[in-house]
């Protein structure tokens, strides 16, 4: 395919990916990877490099807004980032030695889990205010804005959260996605935070995790400007647009359709790899 | 304080994005034969470590002097990757301002990890 045309198409697709990522929370990574691998036949390692950069683009924009609105627990985010960054670096390093077929399988598993998690409603439970001593020591308990004013909450299970975040970091680096779903799961279910705090804090962290692994990929020569350039720019524009139109869009059906498309692309990816 | 942080980050992203765009347009239009011409997309179906361009800032600088649009793109990508790192730096400064030394150290820990990757000391 002519390179000019390819880069143009890639940019347009990335705009769509960034927009969908901002609207559904399923991130640019899960769209960019199949498009690059199936659509353009790009080698997995270049695809991951480009996808990670797209993840930074998609998440950083919206993260700024959430911090400003008071939902993000910045201390918790920074603390958990110690684990995700460590995991991301480990993951980026070992990814070089892992068979690309295994990486694709891992990616598809993450893909299916993400689609499933998007369709599942968040755990509904009253806020657990019994303080956890470790969390209190680490100054993690906080409050968030609700219709009733500033509502306090407490954080639990910090070691478990750190462990899961390490895993999320490794996954993110090996497979080129944001792992936001794993992060939200850890904070929502394990650490028992209010859902909005989980999603916004996760968004806060995703960019840093992707930056940690992107840096390793960059130095290893896996970020190819002709691919990552259009992808990053497109995702940036798309995420900005998506964040703008989010209040006016009914995401219920969008998420369902998107989840189906994502699952189909995962199946196709496996089919192509193993037949 | 959060508002300043948000504005700083959005401007960094805007600068990074514009840089990437300028680089792409240049590469499109110019097609330099010098350091890196545009390769046909099929070249990316197999991964060759020795082949990939612009892995360090020094290489990017050389490419900039040669007027290669792709070097500008890579610079923009570098800026994009740096944006979350800057965000952690700002958080560190904010923690220092309120004398939260525990979180100054935790932020420093995160930055160390990021720096190790970004400076290419981990490969």
Across A191-195, B36-40, B114-118, least confident range = B36-40
Q: Examine the pLDDT at B53 and tell me if it is beyond 60.
A: yes
Interface membership of A13 toward B (CB under 8 Å): no
Residues near A187 by beta carbon (within 8 Å), at least 6 away in sequence: A76, A161, A193, A197, A198, A201, A202
Reported confidence tier of residue B109, pLDDT bands at 50, 70, 90: very high
Average pLDDT, integer, range A250-268: 85
Other Cβ atoms within 10 Å of A202 Cβ, number: 31
Average pLDDT, chain A: 85
Across A135-139, B17-21, B116-120, least confident range = B116-120
Say what the pLDDT of residue B33 is: 43
Structure pTM?
0.86
Residues A187/A163, Cβ–Cβ less than 8 Å? no
Flag if B52 and A222 touch (Cβ within 8 Å).
Answer: yes
Say what the pLDDT of residue A124 is: 64
Name every chain A residue with its beta carbon within 8 A of the beta carbon of B20.
Answer: 229, 232-233
Tokens representing A265 are 């692309």
pLDDT in tens, A182-220: 888 888 888 888 888 888 888 888 889 999 988 888 888
What are A146's strand-pairing partners? Answer: A149
Interface membership of A93 toward B (CB under 8 Å): yes
Q: What angle do CA A220, B85, A188 make, to 5 degrees?
A: 105
Q: Examine the pLDDT at A60 and tell me if it is beyond 80.
A: no
Average pLDDT, chain B: 79
Q: How do the domains of chain A map onto residue ranges?
A: 3-274
Name every chain B residue with its beta carbon within 8 A of the beta carbon of A180.
Answer: none
Residues near A155 by beta carbon (within 8 Å), at least 6 away in sequence: A73, A76, A132, A135, A140, A141, A142, A191, A192, A193
Cα(A60)–Cα(A208) distance, rounded to whole angstroms? 9
Cα(B2)–Cα(A155) distance, rounded to whole angstroms? 22
Distance from CA of A129 to the nearest CA of B (A): 23
Tokens representing A128 are 């657990």
Tokens representing A254 are 């969008």
Looking up tokens 């998007």, which residue turns up? A118
Provide the 8-state DSSP code for B39. Answer: P
Flag if A61 and B13 touch (Cβ within 8 Å).
Answer: yes
Distance from CA of A65 to the nearest CA of B (A): 7
Q: Examine the pLDDT at B121 and tell me if it is beyond 80.
A: no
Q: How do the domains of chain B map onto residue ranges?
A: 2-118
Across the interface, of B24, B49, B52, the residue whose CB is closest to A230 is B24
Say what the pLDDT of residue A138 is: 87
Say what the pLDDT of residue B102 is: 94
Q: Which letter, b or e, does each residue of A124-159 get, where b requires 16 or more Cβ atoms within 10 Å of its Cβ?
A: eeeeeeeebeebeebebbbebeeeeeeeebbbbbbe
Residues near B48 by beta carbon (within 8 Å), at least 6 away in sequence: none
Average pLDDT, integer, range B22-34: 70
Say what the pLDDT of residue B49 is: 57
Across the interface, of B39, B47, B110, the residue whose CB is closest to A45 is B47
Flag if A210 and B118 touch (Cβ within 8 Å).
Answer: no
- A107 closest CA partner among A27, A161, A10: A27
Cα(A55)–Cα(A174) distance, rounded to whole angstroms? 14
Flag if B78 and A218 touch (Cβ within 8 Å).
Answer: yes
CA-atom Rg of chain B in angstroms = 18
Reported confidence tier of residue A141, pLDDT bands at 50, 70, 90: confident
Residues A219/B123, Cβ–Cβ less than 8 Å? yes
Across A35-49, A192-206, A232-246, B62-76, least confident range = B62-76
Interface membership of A76 toward B (CB under 8 Å): no
Across the interface, of A43, A65, A79, the residue whose CB is closest to B46 is A43
Please provide the DSSP assignment of A111-168 as one string.
HHHHHHHHHSPPPP-----SPPHHHHHTT--EEEEETTEEEEE----HHHHHHHHHHH
Instruction: Check if the interface score ipTM surpasses 0.90.
Output: no
Cα(B27)–Cα(A4) distance, rounded to whole angstroms? 10
Reported confidence tier of residue B96, pLDDT bands at 50, 70, 90: very high
Q: Of all residues in chain B, what percent are helix, strand and coil, respectively (each to 5)?
A: 75, 0, 25
Average pLDDT, integer, range B22-39: 65
Q: Examine the pLDDT at B47 and tell me if it is beyond 90.
A: no
Residues A229/B24, Cβ–Cβ less than 8 Å? yes
Average pLDDT, integer, range A59-76: 74
Flag if B55 and A67 touch (Cβ within 8 Å).
Answer: no
Q: Examine the pLDDT at B10 and tell me if it is beyond 50.
A: yes
Say what the pLDDT of residue A145 is: 81
Say what the pLDDT of residue B35 is: 39
Tokens representing A202 are 């996760």
pLDDT in tens, A1-28: 567 778 888 899 999 888 888 777 777 7
Interface membership of A86 toward B (CB under 8 Å): yes
Percent of chain A with pLDDT over 90: 22
Q: Which residue has the higher pLDDT, A68 or B117?
A: B117
Say what the pLDDT of residue B51 is: 58
Flag if A85 and B113 touch (Cβ within 8 Å).
Answer: yes
Distance from CA of A47 to the nearest CA of B (A): 9
Cα→Cα distances A258→A52, A63, A160, A199, A203, Å: 20, 22, 31, 19, 19
Distance from CA of B34 to the nearest CA of A (A): 16
- A100 closest CA partner among A28, A50, A37, A142: A37
Say what the pLDDT of residue A35 is: 87
Average pLDDT, integer, range A106-127: 80
Reported confidence tier of residue A167, pLDDT bands at 50, 70, 90: very high
Interface membership of A71 toward B (CB under 8 Å): no
């Amino acid at each position: 395919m002519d390179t000019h045309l390819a880069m143009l198409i890639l940019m347009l697709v990335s705009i769509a990916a960034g927009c969908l990522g901002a609207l559904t929370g399923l991130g640019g990574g899960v769209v960019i990877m199949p498009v690059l691998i199936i659509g353009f036949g790009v080698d997995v390692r270049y695809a991951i490099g480009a996808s990670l950069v797209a993840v930074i683009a998609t998440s950083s924009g919206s993260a700024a807004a959430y911090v400003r609105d008071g939902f993000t627990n910045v201390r918790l985010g920074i603390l958990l980032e110690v684990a995700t960054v460590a995991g991301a670096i480990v993951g980026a390093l070992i990814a070089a030695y892992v068979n690309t077929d295994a990486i694709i399988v891992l990616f598809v598993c993450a893909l299916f889990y993400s689609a499933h998690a998007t369709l599942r409603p968040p755990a509904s439970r009253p806020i657990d205010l019994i303080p956890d001593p470790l969390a209190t020591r680490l100054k993690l308990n906080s409050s968030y804005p609700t219709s009733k004013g500033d509502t306090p909450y407490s954080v639990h299970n910090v070691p478990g959260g750190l462990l899961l975040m390490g895993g999320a970091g490794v996954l993110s680096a090996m497979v080129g996605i944001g792992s936001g779903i794993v992060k939200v799961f850890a904070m929502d279910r394990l650490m028992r935070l209010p859902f909005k705090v989980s999603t916004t804090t996760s968004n806060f962290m995703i960019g840093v995790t992707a930056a940690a692994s992107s840096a390793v990929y960059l130095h290893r020569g896996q970020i190819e400007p002709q691919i990552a350039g259009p992808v990053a720019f497109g995702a940036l524009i798309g995420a900005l647009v998506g964040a703008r139109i989010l209040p006016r869009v009914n995401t219920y059906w969008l998420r369902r359709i998107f989840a189906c498309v994502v699952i189909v692309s995962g199946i196709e990816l496996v089919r192509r790899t193993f037949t | 304080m959060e508002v300043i942080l948000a504005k700083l980050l959005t401007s960094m992203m805007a600068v990074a994005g514009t840089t990437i765009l300028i680089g792409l347009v240049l590469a499109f239009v110019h097609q330099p034969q010098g350091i890196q011409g545009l390769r046909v997309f099929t070249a990316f179906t197999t991964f060759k470590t020795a082949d990939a361009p612009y892995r360090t800032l020094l290489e990017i600088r050389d490419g900039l002097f040669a007027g290669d649009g792709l070097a500008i793109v890579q610079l923009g990508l570098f800026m994009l990757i740096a944006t979350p790192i800057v965000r952690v730096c700002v958080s560190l400064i904010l923690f220092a301002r309120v004398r939260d030394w525990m979180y100054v150290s935790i932020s420093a820990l995160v930055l160390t990890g990021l720096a190790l990757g970004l400076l290419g000391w981990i490969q």
